[in-house]
Amino acid sequence: MLRWVRQQLGFDPPHQSDTRTIYIANRFPQHGHYVPQKFADNRIVSSKYTVWNFVPKNLFEQFRRVANFYFLIIFLVQLMIDTPTSPITSGLPLFFVITVTAIKQGYEDWLRHKADNEVNGAPVYVVRSGGLVKTRSKNIRVGDIVRVAKDETFPVDLVLLSSDRVDGSCHVTTASLDGETNLKTHVAVPETAVLQSVANLDKLVAVIECQQPEADLYRFVGRITVSQQTEEIVRPLGPESLLLRGARLKNTKEIFGVAVYTGMETKMALNYKSKSQKRSAVEKSMNSFLIIYLIILLFEAILSTILKYAWQAEEKWDEPWYNEKTEHERNSSKILRFISDFLAFLVLYNFIIPISLYVTVEMQKFLGSFFIGWDLDLYHEETNQRAQVNTSDLNEELGQVEYVFTDKTGTLTENEMQFRECSINGIKYQEVNGKLTPEGFSEDSPDGNIHSLMKEEELFLKAVCLCHTVQINADQTDSADAPWHANGIASPLEYYASSPDEKALVEAASRVGVVFTGTTGDSMEVKSLGKPERYKLLHVLEFDPNRRRMSVIVESPSGEKLLFTKGAESSILPRSKSGEIDKTRVHVDEFALKGLRTLCVAYRRFTPEEYQEIGKRLHEARTALQQREERLADVFNFIERDLELLGATGVEDKLQDKVQETIEALRLAGIKVWVLTGDKHETAVSVSLSCGHFHRTMNILELVQHKSDSTCAEQLRQLAKRIKEDHVIQHGLVVDGTSLSLALREHEKLFMEVCKNCSAVLCCRMAPLQKAKVVRLLKTSPEKPITLAIGDGANDVSMIQEAHVGIGIMGKEGRQAVRNSDYAIARFKFLSKLLFVHGHFYYIRIATLVQYFFYKNVCFITPQFLYQFFCLFSQQTLYDSVYLTLYNICFTSLPVLIYSLFEQHVHPHVLQSKPVLYRDISKNAHLGFKPFLYWTILGFFHAFVFFYGSYLLMGEDTSLLGNGQMFGNWTFGTLVFTVMVITVTMKMALETHFWTWINHFVTWGSIVFYFIFSLFYGGIIWPFLHTQDMYFVFVQLLSSGSAWFAIILIVVACLFIDVVKKVLYRHLQPTSTEKAQMYSNRVALSDEFIALQPLSRARNQLSKIRWKKIRVQSAQHVTLLKAGTEGRTIGNC
């Protein structure tokens, strides 16, 4: 029983074997010894809560926050002992904060439940009892045969049994899983491929043995045993047989597959990586300030308790005649009385800790994040994509970035490949007018004529057309003679490929005369200069990142067995024994220097004996259930040797728009840019130079091709020495993957020293985990810089998740980087607006919000502390309990919230055109100790002016009413509270640079609301209140001219010093931001904002705007071309 309980709680998971056995159609053995394995059902659960655990689980998570837990303790203390304030004063704000947060989190989880129910309730068809049965997705069991139609999504992980094609193949796209939008081919084993009807499949008797579920999308090891009459046929199953949940069926009418992994055991569900909670620097500062204020609170409570007992040391004050102690009070323990008084003071001063700060910050982040999606400057019209916010917790972190780590392909470049050059048999060729022309030759012949190809050229192009994973649009392959017109010119076929390089190469080959026309069964068809040839596809040796190459074994029309292989030059050239190896190596380096992506192509002929040996080894490795990958790697290495080099290709990936300007702007902002790429050294350096990451005048240092620790360490020491000697000029560092591994092994400190002294760093030949390791290295260095990683592919996910801020590019490699990122944008150029405008605004807003909250609570509680000196520390409250409760919730909450959503202290165009302003807010400048100290001292100063100003003006002469009626303690407290509400609201108004009608409404409305509420609260006898201390107090206060004079005088006295300080500092010691404010004030731009609108409405309005020239009166007398609306920005946050 105990073990069962532990298993249910997840502490003691049940033992699982390494493999699972699946009986197709759930035809279990009839003998009595078989015990069926238990598998998960097919429900997907992405929600966090259930109806039953929402309340306890949510409360537990919320009370893990220090402030919430602290207020809970205070509330309990108020319930247990006699305290000066009602428990409602702590309980109501706590209840408000907990409720608002619970509603927000509950709503988000309800949306997740809704999405889960939609997925789990989707209709599917399964084969049961000899027919197709319609059921819900959640009812699918392991072993069920499922039918999936064209363009439908696979509801489980399926092993393909058959399709509508004779060869049992189908095409799928896995964009929602790994981000690859191109078609992939999957094939069924021959024994089940022929079973294309429900009746035949219902008779199938077969067993699948496969590995237990794992997250790797590209790994599947299994075998299927098919019983046919008296014999059993065993076939291997690999990734090419597995159809993953979330993938979509394309170009295939229907398929049948058997469910092997269901529900939360599918590879898609196992890849739901629970992202580690990223915390911003502002949140850490906030917690530090909270601890400091807790110390202030404890100090005030202890001091008040000590002073109380010091005062009561005199007998006349210990037990005055008007307040005699009871017998119980005289006999009670002094220690208990001291603790009780300390807790009472703690309750009295507890509002110095701003409980509503957390909920206001959450609302600010949540609402503020919408402005990024609404910003039309971040909208990409060509792809119809706008910026996306996946987490709103890091908005202000966008304004603190010190290092940017970027991928190259698809992030800095377009990921649109164009064939430029190739090297065949040691001769460089270019494509001219649809012909391969040797370098230096010019072809003037017209396009229409088919030219002859030399034997080496034709073999090279055939290798390119046969060694790939390219597919052709099914509609085109079905039409006869589609690839060629009557005049012999190739008409363009629509190719699909998982690699843009492969697609570019196959398209280039078709243009120069060798056309890949598709696959039929196990045959690949090629037309060489109009002459069709059919090659039988015998084996595919799939690409993997360790080998960095892929191969196919085919049988030529003449019956010859050939191996064609292509891959990185580092994996092909060492395995080549013949061909123009040296010349090709030189050509590859030349291509790389031009910024081209390079691949080498080679082939090998097999004798019948060699092929027989290879076939035997491949079959043994592919049917192995244990260590299949290692065995296959050994066999692949055995096959791919003694190659004959055919040549190399050079494909160009052009830069994205405005990449150079963006990188330069980042550099001006004080942000260091590191490029992390898997490309070869020369290609990466060339692209870095062209995009402005490296300058032509920069001294390029290299740490590449090191094989041992000693040589790597020596090179690092030499680089460090060179940097010290040439400290005047800028340096750029190039590191490759192998050298990086050596440098990080034992010389991490030296490597970091070299990197930090370089203006730009380029890491090439990087594996995905190495990218994440580099980010972690910088992130955890002693300076703890804020890092940002940006990429577009599945290989960038680990880097994106490791950085403080992760940004996904919505590129051609799909959505995996976008799904795992914190923010997503369509192009790299949008990064400058995201950081310099949105990041700058968010940081300034939340920095002011946090410090203002602490300031206004110091203003709130300090008069309470000072009042104790006038009431013998009797714990008498200065304010009414309703005012205590509503101060943070109603009277002062909205102005700061609206400020934190709309404030623009500098014009957005100025921020983007002057990246250097970003330096003013770097390193958490506005939430450091000095600004915090200023706001805290200001709070204490204002509190002293509130209290002693009111006391000096009205404390000595209490008969200030016209009828001679005297003021009491509640009138005095209300006067202090009134002055305080007006002053802290006006202080927020002084901090506001950008006024909208909403700011005016909440600022002046808050003050008006306070007056109206106080008049109603004090003007009516409320039957549900036990005491009505405030009855007619506020009305009498306002009827006194002296009170009005005191209110105006104290408010002016408080804010006058603030105004003087701002004016003096702005004119005598202006910061670059303040100079920019004065500059932006001269910009004659209208503020016709398209704020807080859906994107579609904003775009409609935007199309109606006429652009006009606006003269800018500035030091440079620049004429800007701007819109009547604020720079195409919605909301301009």
Q: Which residues are catalytic?
A: 407
**Closest among 188, 167, 194, 175 to 518, alpha carbons compared:** 167
Number of H helices, E strands in the chain: 41, 37
**Closest among 652, 632, 578, 642 to 610, alpha carbons compared:** 642
Beta strands, E only, 737-804: 760-764, 787-791
Helix, strand, or coil (residue 438): strand
Helix, strand, or coil (residue 596): strand
Q: For residue 236, what is the enclosing H or E element?
A: strand 231-237
Dihedral class, residue 39 (left if φ above 0, else alpha if ψ from -120 to 50, else beta): beta
CA pair distance 62, 358, nearest whole angstrom: 11
Q: How far apart are the first and last CA of the chain?
A: 58
Helix, strand, or coil (residue 241): helix
Helix, strand, or coil (residue 806): strand
Q: Which residues pair with 490 in a beta bridge?
A: 484
List C-alpha distances in Å: 359 to 100, 362, 900: 7, 5, 13
Beta strands, E only, 497-637: 514-520, 523-528, 531-544, 549-555, 561-567, 576-578, 596-606
How many other CB atoms sit within 10 Å of the CB of residue 1007? 17
996 with 902: CB under 8 angstroms?
Answer: yes
Non-local (6+) Cβ contacts of 360 within 8 A are 849, 853, 893, 896, 897, 900
CA pair distance 580, 573, nearest whole angstrom: 10
Helix, strand, or coil (residue 385): strand
CA pair distance 882, 1031, nearest whole angstrom: 13
261 with 219: CB under 8 angstroms?
Answer: no
What six digits make up the tokens of 291?
Answer: 């601890």
Q: How wide is the angle at C-alpha 212 spanned by C-alphas 210 and 217, nearest 5°?
A: 90
944 with 862: CB under 8 angstroms?
Answer: yes
Non-local (6+) Cβ contacts of 398 within 8 A are 788, 805, 823, 834, 835, 838, 839, 842, 843
**Closest among 988, 977, 406, 1043 to 666, alpha carbons compared:** 406
Q: Please spell the DSSP secondary structure of 877-918, one letter per residue.
A: -SS-HHHHHHIIIIITHHHHHHHHHH--SS-HHHHHH-GGGG
Amino acid at 570: S
Q: Which residues pair with 703 in a beta bridge?
A: 735
DSSP label at residue 955:
I
Q: Please spell the DSSP secondary structure of 829-882, one letter per residue.
A: THHHHIIIIIIHHHHHHHHHHHHHHHHHHHHHHHHHHHHGGGTTT----SS-HH
Reported as half-sphere exposure (CB side, CA atoms, 13 A), residue 416 has a value of 5
Non-local (6+) Cβ contacts of 543 within 8 A are 549, 550, 567
What six digits make up the tokens of 10?
Answer: 């997840």
